[in-house]
Amino acid sequence: MKSLITGFLFLFAVASASASDALIKPYFKADSITGDMAQVVSAVKQKLTAGGFAVVGDVSPYPGTTIVVVTSPAMKAAAAMSDYGIFGAAQRVSITKAGSGMQIAYTNPTYMANAYQMKTDMDDVTAALNKALGNQGQYGPEKGLSKSDLRDYHYKFLMPYFYDRLDLAEYKSHAAAIAAVEKQLAAKAGGVSQVYRIDLPGKEKTLIGVHMSGPKNNDCSGDQYIMSRIDFKEYKSSAHLPYEMVISGKHVYALPAEFRIAISFPDLSMMGSNSFASIMCAPSAIKEALTAAAGGKMDY
């Protein structure tokens, strides 16, 4: 009898571990909505608002694509639990024209929470988005990643991890940093403009989403330049955008492109067409563009 109980407990533990470490993907396909871009975007926003989310911004980074960005009290609370969890304060919903219809998709909060090493998996936020927009299955890489792999993710040997951040600028205070960055963004310094801003209550932490158009004579940082080369699958990963800048205290930082792009496209090949090699110029160009947007100086 004792051996049977021991065996049962062992199998239960294995099953529980397997369930908790199931493979997950960066995006969900939402229920379809008919209409033109403006009609579908409006309907998506209504569904999100009815589902308890606040729309904080939207952007059309290139023709045929709109991304809506949302937050919620639950997301902000989860983001405030860890020093660098602020990236989880926003989730992105994409509407992409495909043939005669629209592809509607959104980021997987559970995937992102683990990639950003948050204190919670944000499964409640995932469930709320599933309910608001529908869940027609996860997509992105062919196989997906486990939560444990996401928490220690880097694309390849010598590539950056989540904690390898780009230090963009430093100011005398949080307020001074926000004022300087918003002034630069309003001027579209480095070809970068503001899409949304989220402040964590009671914290000197601010998340700013940005659109990068690519400054004159340097398209490599541009959203359209990058996505036209790597977002080549039938169901688009438009919700990779927009990129983020963080103002934490008096410091301004961002994630390196080798991590930020890779976490959205983890199965992208290193070489060949539609690969990281096709955007080889992007990491340094993005760093330069975001440094200009932060009002900092490049450390060549």
- pLDDT tens-digit readout, 91-103: 999 999 998 899 9
CA distance 67 to 292: 24
CA distance 150 to 111: 7
Specify the amino acid at residue 288: E
User: Which residues does 171 contact at the CB level (< 8 Å), separation at least 6?
Assistant: 177, 180, 250, 252
Average model confidence (pLDDT) for the chain? 92
Query: pLDDT class for 300, splitting at 50, 70, 90?
Result: low
Residue 94, helix vs strand vs coil:
strand
Among 76-90, 122-136, 149-163, 189-203, name the one with the lowest average pLDDT: 149-163
User: For position 49, what pLDDT does the model report?
Assistant: 98
The strand pair at 243-248 and 54-59 is best described as unpaired
Mean pLDDT of 239-253: 98
- Contact assessment for residue 53 and residue 76, using Cβ atoms and an 8 Å cutoff: no
Alpha-carbon separation of residue 215 from 208, 212, 239, 252 (angstroms): 19, 8, 22, 20
Domain covering 23-294 in this structure, CATH number: 3.30.310.70
Among 58-67, 198-207, 213-222, name the one with the lowest average pLDDT: 213-222
pLDDT at 5 over 70: no
State pLDDT tens for residues 18-71.
445 689 999 999 999 999 999 999 999 999 999 999 999 999 999 999 999 999
State pLDDT tens for residues 256-284.
999 999 999 999 988 878 888 999 999 99
Whether this model's pTM surpasses 0.85: yes
| Cβ-based burial of 229 (10 A; exposed 0-12, middle 13-18, buried ≥19) | middle
User: For position 216, what pLDDT does the model report?
Assistant: 73
Q: Where are the beta strands (DSSP E) in the chain?
A: 27-29, 54-59, 65-71, 91-98, 101-107, 138-139, 166-170, 192-199, 205-212, 243-248, 251-254
pLDDT at 17 over 60: no
Tokens of 171: 């100011």
CA distance 148 to 21: 7
Interior CA angle at 38 toward 34 and 40, to 5°? 30
